[in-house]
Amino acid sequence: MTNATDRKSAAQSAKASKRERRESPAQQPKLGFFGTLRWLWRQLTSMRTALFLLLILAVAAVPGSIFPQTNIDSTRVTNYLAEHRTIGPWLDRFGFFNVFSSPWFAAIYLLLVISLLGCIIPRTRKQVRALHAPIPKMPRRLDRLPEHRECTIDASPQDVLQAAQSVLRAKRYRFRVDTTAEGVPQAIAAEGGRLREAGNLLFHTCLVFVIIAVAYGHLVGWNGQVIVPAGQGFTSTASRYDTLDTGPLVNIANLTPFSINVNHMDVTFEHDVPSTSPQYGQPRDFVASVTAKLPNMAPKATTIEVNHALDIASTEVYLLGNGYAPKVTVRNAKGQILYADETPFLPQNNNYTSVGAIKVPGASPKQLGFFGFFLPTASFSSTQGPTSTFPALNNPALVLGLYEGNLFPDGSPQSVYTLDTQQMTQVKGSDGQPLRLLIRPGQTVKLPDKLGSITLDSVPRWAGLSVRYDPGKMPALYGALLALLGLIMSMTLRRRRLFVKVAAAADEGEPDDRRTLVTIGGLSKGEDPRLPVGLDNLLESIVKRTGKP
């Protein structure tokens, strides 16, 4: 008893000493430079790191939806910097106004691609070897497997094996028939679900493909927005777009110069309901009738609707919005025309109470700037002021104020809907109060101090068009669909190995070739709660094809 205790204590002491030597830093061999690189590479190409980088990428994209982005609305960025003079420059310095083009976002993007590729390539080689690997040998004792079944069937062993082969073939298992030394079949080894890992690899490969497709679309794609009043058109050139966002590899001189003319805008609003109903004035349909033309091709009349884009010159033209663009003529005191154009006003609510600015840089000696509202169905109240009660042109009117001075004090970009009044003075009326102008279609109103006059000629609509060229969109879509297929395969397929062994059943101590003892065993790679059900179904199918148990 004492010797056994001593031997046990000695063994424990030896294990403890070995563990201490293994864990001691002094005993650890130094990795060296290349060893450190290999360790870093293994850490980067682990699936855990890839998932972590994917999470970081999602978090890094959040500032792009919080802060205004220069490539989408540079005016908002300028206003944000003007309002936040302390934190704004720091945010700009770290790229928070150009999140998706910033170096740190690109670094996360690149590391994620490298990590995924480092995970996929070794696993692909391993999967190819597994697909060509032979079916494993039959275990000696099937009763030691995690799941096994045994029963006697009123059929010969050959009939049972043939039935088992038919069932396994129908379930798309690959199998091998083992025979005795005399060449008599006695067992079947089968394997199924090998495509589960292939589905997993397909998912991760397509994820990399989607990332690359999105990056490619960002590099060579572009999108521009333009407001086109009804009856006018535009040509797809860089100078014609109100805003233009191009990828780093885009040469704006090579844009295909197609042209689109907006013939008219058809807008339908709900009016056959009580005015107190929430549906009163709700939009029902937006349709822009346009004429599109490519160089050296005949014009084509078509329509653009919400969610129904126009495909032209490998680009897509979307109808994003609409509103009113009052056609205004401004004359000086001598009757000379200083400004005559459609001026888009931006809707602020469902009744199209719209705000805008009319800028007259040709006025002398001081430039003029009108600001205010356009009201499709004008209404005035002591509490809400001027407002619109319906989005259609039932009672249109312009309500404007007037400034004079320098319209562009510092030369920075301005919104077409607002005035920069830093170096301007508000014009007052004869009563000494700020001037207020109410102008209806066809009406001309004289301005004080011999500034001239303003006329509201007509009220056409405008169409807000978004032109997009994104060559990576369709590849990304196909990659996402294939990734979904791979995910379904990896979640539904089960890697299983099934074994069927037959022997003549003993009848009163003697083998009976008319009755067969069937033993079925199975094991799976990973968790498979339906493995018992699979064995039961296999055995039941064999019984149905042969005889009664």
pLDDT in tens, 3-20: 555 555 555 565 555 555
Radius of gyration of the chain measured on its C-alpha atoms: 39
pLDDT of residue 29: 54
Same domain, 351 and 291: no
- Same domain? For 164 and 79 the reply is no
Helix (H) or strand (E) holding 219: helix 195-220
pLDDT score of 427 more than 50? yes
Q: Which of 111, 129, 147 is the C-terminal boundary of a domain?
A: 129
Is the domain of 261 the same as that of 236? yes
* Residue 11 included in any domain: no
Domain count for the chain, please give it: 4
Phi, psi of 27 (to 5 degrees): -90, -10
Residue range(s) defining the domain that contains residue 444: 327-460
Residues 351 and 435 in one domain: yes
222 and 320 part of one domain: yes
Q: How far is CA 473 from CA 62, 117, 212, 243, in A?
A: 22, 22, 11, 21
- DSSP annotation of 15 reads H
The residue with greater pLDDT, 512 or 263, is 263
What phi and psi values does residue 158 have, to the nearest 5 degrees?
-65, -40
Q: What is the pLDDT of residue 168?
A: 92
The answer to whether residue 206 sits within a structural domain is no
Q: What pLDDT does 103 receive?
A: 87
Task: List the beta bridge partners of residue 147.
Answer: 522
Mean pLDDT of 395-402: 94
> Does the residue 255 lie in any domain?
yes
Contact present, 185 and 207 (Cβ < 8 Å): no
Three-class secondary structure of residue 26 per DSSP:
helix
Least confident of 99-103, 211-215, 403-407, 452-456: 99-103
- pLDDT score recorded for residue 367: 92
| Per-residue pLDDT band at 511 (split at 50, 70, 90) | low
The count of other CB atoms within 10 Å of the CB of residue 526 is 8
Pick the closest to residue 421 from 436, 434, 405 (CA basis): 405
Q: Cβ of 57: how many Cβ atoms within 10 Å?
A: 15
pLDDT in tens, 283-308: 888 899 999 998 888 899 999 998 88
- Quote the mean pLDDT of the chain: 85
Say yes or no: 456 and 339 in one domain. Answer: yes
User: Using CA atoms, how far apart are residues 187 and 157, in angstroms rounded to an integer?
Assistant: 10
Q: Please list the residues that pair with 57 across neighbouring strands.
A: none
Question: At 140, is the secondary structure helix, strand, or coil?
Answer: coil
* 334 and 409 share one domain: yes
Last residue of a domain, one of 108, 129, 150: 129
Residue 199 lies in a domain: no
368 and 445 fall within a common domain: yes
Residue 87: how many other CB atoms lie within 10 Å? 11
From residue 384, how far is each of 309, 353, 378, 388, 389 by CA, in Å? 38, 12, 12, 10, 11
Pair 179, 230 in one domain: no
Q: What is the mean pLDDT of residues 482-509?
A: 86
Region of residue 152 (phi > 0: left; psi between -120 and 50: alpha; otherwise: beta): beta
| Together in a domain, 313 and 335 | no
pTM (two decimals)? 0.70
Q: What is the pLDDT of residue 1?
A: 46
Both 275 and 361 in one domain: the answer is: no
Evaluate if residue 401 carries a pLDDT over 90: yes
- The answer to whether residue 17 is domain-embedded is no
Model confidence at 71, in pLDDT bands (50, 70, 90)?
low
**Residue 48 belongs to some domain of the structure:** yes
Q: Per the domain annotation, does 309 fall within a domain?
A: yes
Q: Which pair of tokens denotes residue 505?
A: 């059943």
Q: Has residue 183 got a pLDDT over 80?
A: no
Q: Point out the domain boundary residue: 114, 129, 144.
A: 129
Q: Comparing 2-16, 172-186, 268-282, which segment has the lowest mean pLDDT?
A: 2-16
Tell me the pLDDT band of 456, cut-offs 50, 70 and 90: very high
User: Is 49 found in the same domain as 168?
Assistant: no
Task: Give me the percent of the chain exceeding a pLDDT of 90.
Answer: 30
Q: Is residue 471 included in any domain, yes or no?
A: yes
pLDDT surpasses 70 at 75: no
**Contact predicate 427/448, CB 8 Å:** yes
Beta strand segments in 431-480, E: 437-439, 444-447, 452-458, 461-469
